[in-house]
Amino acid sequence: MAGEQVESHGSGSGYAHTYATLPHIALAILTYWIAATAYSLLTAPAIPISIPWMGYGKGWIAALRNYLAVSQSKGWMLAGYDKYSRRGDAFVLPPTLGMYPEVVVPRSIMQWMFDQPDNVLSVSAAHYDILQGSYCFVKPIILKDPYHEHVVHRNLLRNLNFILPEIAQEVPSAVTNIYGTDTEQWKTINVMDSFMEMIPGITNRMLVGPALCHKRKYLDAVTGFTTDVVRGQAFMLIVPKALHPIVGTLISLPGKYHYWLSSRFTLPVIKQRISDITKKDAGDPDYKDWTEPKDFFTWIYRTAQAEGRHDEMQPERIAKRILPLNFASIHTTSLTGYEAIVEILNAGPDVVRQLREEVYRITQEEGGCTRAGLTRMYRLDSAIRESQRLSPIALTFNHRKVVAKEGIVLPDGTHIKQGTIISCPWMSMASDTEIYDKPGEYDPFRYSRPREAYEAMTPEEKAKVNSLKLKQGGMVTTSIQHLAFGHGRHACPGRFFVSHELKMILSYMLLNYDFKPLSEKPKKIWVIRHLIPLPAKIEVRRRKSPWTPADG
């Protein structure tokens, strides 16, 4: 009995000691977190005092208020654009949470920025920092040396004529599997989820070919990886940089796991492809009639072979290169598709009818969704481009990092130190009344009206028109005024594929499904510097037969 009392007393002391220790541990963690955050702020690249700061200014208290102001960046951006950019001056978008302070340059010097060499202003270095390249892409080299982008630049456009017919085969089943075949009952669809389901399989037909693009476990792995990157990047924002090596190691584990899952499918195919190419090149008679597939596996191996990049010819490296391409393709394309279909349906039935008429007419003339026909779908092209303008996914685009040791001098004489991030004010430009008429409205045919008017002209009338300027209104055409795909030599290399892919998907949906009008436009929120679309649902029903002009 006495022993039991002593044992009970001792146990109670242990629990009391534990509970007394927990607040101390929590306080120690909080203190270290605050100290590490302060260290991160103090060691950030110094920005010249001549460049004005938005937000709460500089200094300890202001820095803390900026750090916590997760919903203020959009307001700061608009105010900075009106106050400084319009008169040709740069301004600083202050760091919120763990984001970098950005020097936002005015439109007047953007072309100068795009013209700077990569050893002065680096795109890849900026992406490496912003996307947490040290931790989120399996190996740091994948973003430090984005060779996959170079391969896509070299190979995608020249192979589009081969790729697009294969994509056209994928679209009907990809849409039907999600939107359904019921011609009687309406079906409720989560728009973003539907595109996140469709895009991976369609895109991977181009990346890895038909053998893998239908394997659910492979698609789940690469889609899971893209989600890992988004989550990891977001989480690392709240982690002080002094803790990145520790926390980043843990954050990298889900991405490495999904790479391992995907590599179980990709590595055997890659190794077989290398073996086939090697035998073909050696003149093996068994490979006399073998034709190498036109997918990313072949592109990267052949490009690396021609350029002497033996490190990029290794199966494991090729398997890792697939991941950032999926990341870039899945989320951004899905967001673009989401915005396009929501804006089109919100614009009303007359807009839907005009788009259907164009799609029907051109597919009848071309015998399907051909490259030439897709290029002629000016209205659909314009509707997608306009949704990009009205709902940019971020406040700033075209990020560059100053990598030159001596820094860089802006055209106005301001010296910017090495390590500074520079960007362009795309969101503010997209809503600028000096650039666009009624920029706050969705005008689906803003870019197509001049092009359709040109097509209706006589040869004599066309000779008097600058046709090149008209073509600059196309979805894939980049310019100082439209930065959705970037601009200059580092513009998105996959934009030609994305444009055709989305037009194929939307064309099929418009002809084969009816849509209930939206009761209200889905809400969106800005969190720090990014636009977050809230869940949007639409009601669809399969048509008994594809739409024709007789349906009205």
Residues at the binding site are 492
Residue 299's closest CA among 451, 138, 157, 491?
Answer: 157
Neighbours of 364 (CB within 10 A): 12
- Strand segments, DSSP code E, in 364-436 are 397-402, 408-409, 415-416, 421-424
d(CA 552, CA 536): 27
Burial zone of 62 (CB within 10 Å; 0-12 exposed, 13-18 middle, 19+ buried): middle
d(CA 86, CA 107): 8
d(CA 349, CA 355): 10
Neighbours of 516 (CB within 10 A): 12
d(CA 424, CA 434): 17
d(CA 427, CA 524): 14
- Strand segments, DSSP code E, in 20-125 are 91-93, 102-104, 121-122
Neighbours of 346 (CB within 10 A): 15
Q: Write the single-letter amino acid at 342.
A: V
Query: From the annotation, which residues make up the binding site for heme?
Result: 492
Q: Which two tokens stand for residue 156?
A: 């995608």
Give the side-chain half-sphere CA count within 13 A for 250: 7
Q: Which two tokens stand for residue 513?
A: 């499904």
Q: Which two tokens stand for residue 227?
A: 């989600």
Contacts of residue 166, Cβ cutoff 8 Å, sequence gap at least 6? 205, 206, 210
Q: Where are the alpha helices (DSSP H) in 57-190?
A: 60-68, 73-83, 110-115, 123-130, 141-144, 147-155, 160-179
Question: Where do we find the tokens 């796991």?
Answer: 257
d(CA 400, CA 63): 23
Q: Where are the alpha helices (DSSP H) in 191-309?
A: 191-207, 210-213, 216-237, 244-281, 296-307
Q: CA–CA distance from 120 to each of 16, 133, 407 (Å)?
A: 60, 20, 8
* DSSP three-state, residue 494: coil
Q: Write the single-letter amino acid at 223.
A: T
Angle at 158 between CA 143 and CA 365, to 5 degrees: 125
